Amino acid sequence: MIKIKKNLVVGLAAVASIALSGCNLGKKKGDVSFWSPFGAKYRNVLDNIILPKVEEELGLKIDHESKGSYPGIREAVVDAVANSTYPDLAIGYPDHFAQYQGSDILVELDGKIDINDYDPNYMPENYLYDTNGVKRLYGVPFNKSTEVLGYNGVFVDYCVAKYGDPDLKNLPKTWDEWASTDPNSKVQKYKAAFSELVACKSKLCGQQKEDGEGFNFKIENTPTEGRKVLIDYTQTDVSTARLMSWDSTDNAFITLVRQWGAEYTKLPESEKSVHPKLRKGHVLFANATNLPIVTEMLQFFYNMYKNEIFTTPSMTLGADYSSDAFEQGRCMFMVCSTGGLSYNTENWENRFSIAPIPYKDAEHRYVISQGANICMTKHANEEKAIKVLKALTNGKFQTEWAITTGYFPASNSSADSPEYQAFLNSTDYSDPTRVAYREGARVNELEYRKNGWTRFVDDAFIGSAIVREKVAQILGDVFAKSDASADTIKSVLKNVLDQADLRKNTIEIEKNF
């Protein structure tokens, strides 16, 4: 028997205590720790509606923390890797997962998850390549959205009445139609009516049917004959008003590059078998092949901007988001995410209406498929974490999440459920936010999914989030120039691509200047 001195035992106990204290840096309060990027609105849905029911059904305690934004959660996980305090489950984008894979904290989900229930269009982005160039499953879809053309339905009703033209209810479909300068075109009729309303410094008054359709219009400061104020232009600054905007300028650039037939970024085949930390994603939109196409696209939208048809939120509207200007009647049409439709429905008199986004031509109907997925890390008790992951992404809890938030169901069992189908087919107009969710879901289901659109997601690599962040400035930088010559556009693109953040060793920039 080995004897140890008492003072040595005390010393060892102290060391053990310190060691255990260090290990407790990442100790969970519950059975499964779960980080999300959501702000107050969606965090409350999780904390007060979804997660309590999941906990009750599974008999598990879920420790949920919101990091406030998608950049916030990516930074939080990356920072937590240093002291091993990252969560069991985390919501994020594919480029987040690429970075986590590079830190070797992700668990491969192949064989652990039955993927047959998930929408196949949402699955490719959940695969990353291992060092042998083999695709591995690292996530499953959770909250999915796309972009739509939101518009002020009352304004369109007013245009129909003003011109006596019912066809004005059928919005233009292509960008050529939206860019038309023909005085008899739909867009020029919208523009003329909008300009008159903004300049009148008065109020558009009228009546509305149960579904929000406007009629019996009159421009007056005080509503008469049973009318009510539908849009107030008394405080609108003409210089800060534009007919159309695009909420997300990074999505705008990326989508339009695709619609014009060019490439944005790509992870080449030769890089797929390289270690994730060393892989180089290629930026392609300014190379010899794509630069002429991208230049043509930017010139097209520069002309739309100069013709006072199109803008970006910060250029003319003086806002971070188009929804701010929309609510104030300074913007009548905007491309926006279905994930944020509730921000556009606070003023029901605007009757927020929804249509598919415009496209270049029938062969290039591209629309971004966005939203996040859930990954599992090496901290997790796999048995418990898998149960939570499945419950959140399949069946009734995913259905309730979709109906409550406006995101699209990630799984077939949710999308095809009687509850979700009843939601899609409802004719209840009492809740404007629920109506917006329903109309957005209908566009996705009946137009994008079933009518030949390409719903795309770009390759993920370490640094792809930085590329996305930087391209958000391109449209605005072009619009601010005095001309849109090829040389001017080259200078704008060069300025963006020469920024220090894009000079990382995980990004290869192909450029023709």
| 407-428 pLDDT per residue, tens | 999 999 999 999 999 999 999 9
C-beta neighbour count of 293 within 10 angstroms: 15
511 pLDDT band (50/70/90 cuts)? Answer: very high
Sign of CA dihedral 446, 450, 453, 454: positive
Contacts of residue 369, defined as CB under 8 A and 6 or more positions apart, other chains included, come to 121, 122, 144, 146, 455, 456, 457
Q: Looking at residue 170, what is its pLDDT?
A: 98
Percent helix, strand, coil in the chain, to 5, is 45, 20, 35
Nearest to 33 by CA among 384, 373, 391: 384
86 has a pLDDT exceeding 80: yes
Phi–psi pair at 283, nearest 5 degrees: -90, 120
> In the predicted model, is pLDDT for residue 275 greater than 90?
no
Dist. CA 358–CA 347, nearest whole Å: 25
Two structure tokens written together for 423: 């939601």
What the block records as the tokens of 412 is 């077939």
**Core vs surface per residue 117-144: b (16+ CB within 10 A) or e:** bbbebbbebbbbbeeeeeebbbbbbbbb
Closest alpha carbon to 465 in 102, 136, 80, 83: 102
Residue 21 has pLDDT above 60, yes or no: no
Confidence of residue 28 (pLDDT cuts 50, 70, 90): low
Distance CA(152)–CA(244), nearest Å, equals 11
Is the model's pLDDT at 18 over the cut of 90? no
Q: What is the share, in percent, of the chain residues with pLDDT greater than 90?
A: 78
C-alpha to C-alpha distances, 59 to 56, 312, 382, 395, 401, nearest whole angstrom: 5, 48, 15, 18, 20
Counting every residue, how long is the chain? 513
The 507-511 sheet, strands edge to edge: 265-266, 281-286, 507-511
Is the confidence at residue 347, as pLDDT, over 80? no
Report residue 18 as tokens.
Answer: 């310190």
Give the pLDDT mean for 78-92.
96
Q: CB count, 10 Å around CB of 102? A: 20
Q: Are 405 and 45 in contact (CB under 8 A)?
A: yes
Report yes or no: 423 and 438 within 8 Å, Cβ to Cβ. yes
Rounded mean pLDDT of 476-486? 97
Share of the chain above pLDDT 70, in %: 95
Report the sign of the C-alpha dihedral through residues 505, 507, 511, 513, in that order: negative
Lowest pLDDT segment from 117-126, 292-301, 387-396: 117-126
Average pLDDT, the chain: 91
Residue, of 52 and 23, whose pLDDT is higher: 52
The number of CA neighbours under 13 Å toward the Cβ of 219 is 16
pLDDT at 345 over 70: yes
Angle, CA 210 vertex, CA 204 and CA 216 arms, to 5°: 35
Query: Mean of the pLDDT values across residues 5-23?
Result: 38
- The tens digit of pLDDT for each residue in 133-155 reads 899 999 999 999 999 999 999 99
Average pLDDT of 487-495? 98
User: CA–CA separation, 142 vs 161, rounded Å?
Assistant: 43
Provide the pLDDT for residue 227.
97
Confidence (pLDDT) at 2: 34
| In the predicted structure, residue 108 carries a pLDDT above the cut 80 | yes
Element containing residue 469 per DSSP (H, E): helix 464-471
Give the residues across from 144 on adjacent strands. 371, 408
Q: Is the pLDDT of residue 286 over 90?
A: yes
pLDDT tens for 443-461 read 998 899 889 899 998 888 8
128 bridge partner residues: 136
Model confidence at 13, pLDDT cuts 50, 70, 90, reads very low
Question: What's the pTM value of the predicted model, to 2 decimals?
Answer: 0.88
Q: What is the mean pLDDT of residues 70-96?
A: 95
pLDDT at position 149 is 98
